């Protein structure tokens, strides 16, 4: 047994990534999660009728290298299926697809399917091509974007209305869970650089073929293999700091736990409530947490009595609904829960609406009616199908809002208390609020803990290597400074 121990508070992806990395490095880890299940916001649970639903559909991209590494460590990599072809549909029900060509080098690898993309006019495509080239030519970092919104940058780049609404908005609102006018241009531009321009495989869409909760069993085993428990329904009420160092934690049941170091991996809104009150005061390292705003996501789960959709997923243009996932098909491919539904002839769809500010005040029935009207446009089979059951899950504080300048409020892992480190998608990882950002923060916190023990280790994975002209242009840019 190792002589060093770490307490991890929070069993979301940040806490799990930290815990697994530290356990693999030989540290005794104890993980405390206040809810009855692991996974935090990226989890699933069982409804009273026995159906297991994801809190909301979660997807990853080829450029999320740390999340891929985490799934590997957790033994869940085989449960994520990657799709090379992305499916789109417009109001008239016309389908278009986007995929990489195997022969054109980045950043031009998407050009053939972009040119064939039926939902955009020539003027829109021309404008988009100019803006994408400007991003690639600048190695992903066009000038003067730090304090402006994505919409400001698109106007600066003279984008057409069609290009903004049917291309930039379509991709970015669901990727960053925010409207273009509230989204920092550097975040929006980075999505295109990492996913669509820098390398051939960055855009590939990874979708779990099992409910999210089934991805984390390996984490529990990794932690247990080093002797540490994973304790569910076990919240931490207070973190003690004494003489500038971590001095233990108090559980909700008033018992106390201690360890050589601690990783706090709870949402940003919960951190200050755990720490002594001076950490939230003006001028303190965590003062900025109060300035971080959040944005909502609404997930709608619909069970039909027949097959209404044949694609695995669709991204919707010109609708409130942004994505529809064919859960029956996605699960059936793994031979799991979906296979049963497939045999019964029914179909389970999950719809996602990011930055769903306008739905927050709407009733469950109003949201279902809206979604059914939109599905009638794109999946005519739903008009006659019987809807057996529907569930609406509104996550009001789904993710932090990536406003221009948000990074000044995001603390790093080390905030000045010895042996106490922060993890969470909201910490300063350079990534937006995503599973990849959460895992990165967990690895960084684990690296900080190992360095504190005098046993430095590297857990953070490199980005996908840049390819083709994108690599040349980025290198030239870096050399030129
Ligand atoms: C609806 C929705 C859809 C999303 N879709 C995507 C997507 O498609 N792709 C993507 O990459 N990302 C997506 N995200 C974002 C992603 O879920 C998050 O970025 C990521 O899961 C955050 O992980 P985390 O560990 O930082 O935080 P959390 O998941 O919030 O984990 C924090 C954990 O701490 C626990 N906790 C809190 N207080 C205490 C306490 N006092 N003691 C013990 N435990 C405590 C909580 O219960 C929770 O389990 C989505 C998020 C939502 C809400």
Architecture per CATH, domain 294-400, reads as: Alpha-Beta Complex (3.90)
Q: Which residue of 8, 12, 68, 428 sits with most ligand 1 atoms within 8 Å of its CB, as the best mutation to test the pocket? A: 12
Nearest-angstrom CA–CA distance, 349 and 325: 6
Half-sphere exposure for 39 (CA within 13 Å, toward CB) = 22
Q: What is the pLDDT of residue 337?
A: 62
CB-ligand 1 contact for 266 (6 Å cutoff): yes
Nearest-angstrom CA–CA distance, 164 and 177: 16
State the average pLDDT for the chain.
95
pTM: 0.97
For residues 59-80, give the mean pLDDT: 97
Q: Given pLDDT bands bounded at 50, 70 and 90, which one contains residue 474?
A: very high
Q: Which residue of 40, 297, 426, 436 sits with most ligand 1 atoms within 8 Å of its CB, as the best mutation to test the pocket? A: 40
Q: Do strands 313-316 and 387-400 pair parallel, antiparallel, or not at all (unpaired)?
A: unpaired
The first and second tokens of residue 193, run together, are: 């650089």
Contacts of residue 373, defined as CB under 8 A and 6 or more positions apart, other chains included, come to none
Nearest-angstrom CA–CA distance, 400 and 406: 9
CB-ligand 1 contact for 399 (6 Å cutoff): yes
Torsion of CA 416, 419, 420, 422, to 10 degrees: 90
Question: Which atom of ligand 1 is closest in space to residue 299's alpha carbon?
Answer: 1
CB-ligand 1 contact for 20 (6 Å cutoff): no
Question: Which atom of ligand 1 is closest in space to residue 397's alpha carbon?
Answer: 53
Q: What is the pLDDT of residue 59?
A: 98
CB-ligand 1 contact for 297 (6 Å cutoff): yes
For residues 153-174, give the mean pLDDT: 97
The rounded Å distance from CA 432 to ligand 1 centre is: 13
Of 327, 68, 86, give the one whose Cα is nearest residue 204. 86
Phi, psi of 250 (to 5 degrees): -110, 130
Q: What is the pLDDT of residue 1?
A: 47
- Scan for tokens 């049963």, then name that residue: 340
Nearest-angstrom CA–CA distance, 342 and 20: 36
Under a CB-based contact definition with an 8 Å cutoff, are residues 404 and 178 in contact? no
CATH number 1.10.3470 is the correct assignment for the domain at 98-203: no
CB-ligand 1 contact for 35 (6 Å cutoff): yes
Bigger pLDDT: 344 or 421? 421
pLDDT digits (tens, 9 = 90+) for 363-372: 999 999 999 9
Determine the 3-state secondary structure of 256 from DSSP: strand
Per-domain boundaries in the chain = 5-49+211-290+403-452, 98-203, 294-400
pLDDT digits (tens, 9 = 90+) for 315-334: 999 999 999 999 999 999 77
Is it the case that residue 345 has pLDDT exceeding 80?
Answer: yes
Half-sphere exposure for 228 (CA within 13 Å, toward CB) = 30
Instruction: Report residue 119 CA to chain centroid gap.
Output: 27
The rounded Å distance from CA 110 to ligand 1 centre is: 32
The rounded Å distance from CA 42 to ligand 1 centre is: 6
Nearest-angstrom CA–CA distance, 37 and 54: 12
* Neighbouring-strand partners of residue 42: none
pLDDT digits (tens, 9 = 90+) for 271-319: 999 999 999 888 888 999 999 999 999 999 999 999 999 999 999 999 9
- The CATH number of 5-49+211-290+403-452 is 3.50.50.60
Nearest-angstrom CA–CA distance, 60 and 74: 16
For residues 341-345, give the mean pLDDT: 70
């Amino acid at each position: 047994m190792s002589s060093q121990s770490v307490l991890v508070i929070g069993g979301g992806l940040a806490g799990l990534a930290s815990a697994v990395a530290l356990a693999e490095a030989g540290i005794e880890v104890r993980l405390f999660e206040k809810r009855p299940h692991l996974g935090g916001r990226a989890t699933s649970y069982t409804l009273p009728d026995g159906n297991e639903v994801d809190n909301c559909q979660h997807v990853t991209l080829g450029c999320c290298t740390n999340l891929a590494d985490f799934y590997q460590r957790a033994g869940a990599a085989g449960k994520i299926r990657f799709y090379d072809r992305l499916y789109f549909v417009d109001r008239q029900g016309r389908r278009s697809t986007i995929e990489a060509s195997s022969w054109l080098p980045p950043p031009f690898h998407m050009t053939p399917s972009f040119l064939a993309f039926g939902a955009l006019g020539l003027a829109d495509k021309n404008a988009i091509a100019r803006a994408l080239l400007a991003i690639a030519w600048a190695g992903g970092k066009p000038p003067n974007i730090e304090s402006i919104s994505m919409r400001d940058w698109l106007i600066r780049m003279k984008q057409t209305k069609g290009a903004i609404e049917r291309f930039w908005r379509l991709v970015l609102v669901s990727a960053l869970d925010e409207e273009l006018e509230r989204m920092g241009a550097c975040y929006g531009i980075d999505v295109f650089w990492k996913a669509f321009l820098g390398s051939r495989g960055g855009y590939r869409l990874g979708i779990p073929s099992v409910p999210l909760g089934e991805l984390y069993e390996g984490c529990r085993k990794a932690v247990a293999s080093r002797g540490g428990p994973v304790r569910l329904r076990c919240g931490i009420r207070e973190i003690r700091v004494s003489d500038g160092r971590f001095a233990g934690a108090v559980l909700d049941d008033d018992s106390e736990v201690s360890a050589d170091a601690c990783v706090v991996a709870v949402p940003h809104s919960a951190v200050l409530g755990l720490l002594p009150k001076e950490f939230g005061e003006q001028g303190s390292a965590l003062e900025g947490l109060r300035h971080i705003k959040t944005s909502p996501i609404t997930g709608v789960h619909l069970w039909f009595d027949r097959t209404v959709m044949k694609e695995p997923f669709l991204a919707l243009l010109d609708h409130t609904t942004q994505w529809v996932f064919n859960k029956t098909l996605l699960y059936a491919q793994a031979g799991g829960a979906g296979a049963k539904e497939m045999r019964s002839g029914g179909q389970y769809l999950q719809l996602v609406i990011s930055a769903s500010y306008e739905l927050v005040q709407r009733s469950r029935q109003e949201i279902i009616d809206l979604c059914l009207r939109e599905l009638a446009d794109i999946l005519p089979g739903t008009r006659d199908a019987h809807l057996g059951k529907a569930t609406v899950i509104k996550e009001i504080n789904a993710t932090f809002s990536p406003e221009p300048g948000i990074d000044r409020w995001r603390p790093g892992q080390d905030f000045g208390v010895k042996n106490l480190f922060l993890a969470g998608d909201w910490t300063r990882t350079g990534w937006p609020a995503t599973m990849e950002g959460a895992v990165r923060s967990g690895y960084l916190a684990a690296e900080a803990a190992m360095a504190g023990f005098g046993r430095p280790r590297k857990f953070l994975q490199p980005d996908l290597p840049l390819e083709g002209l994108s690599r040349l242009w980025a290198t030239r840019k870096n050399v030129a400074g």
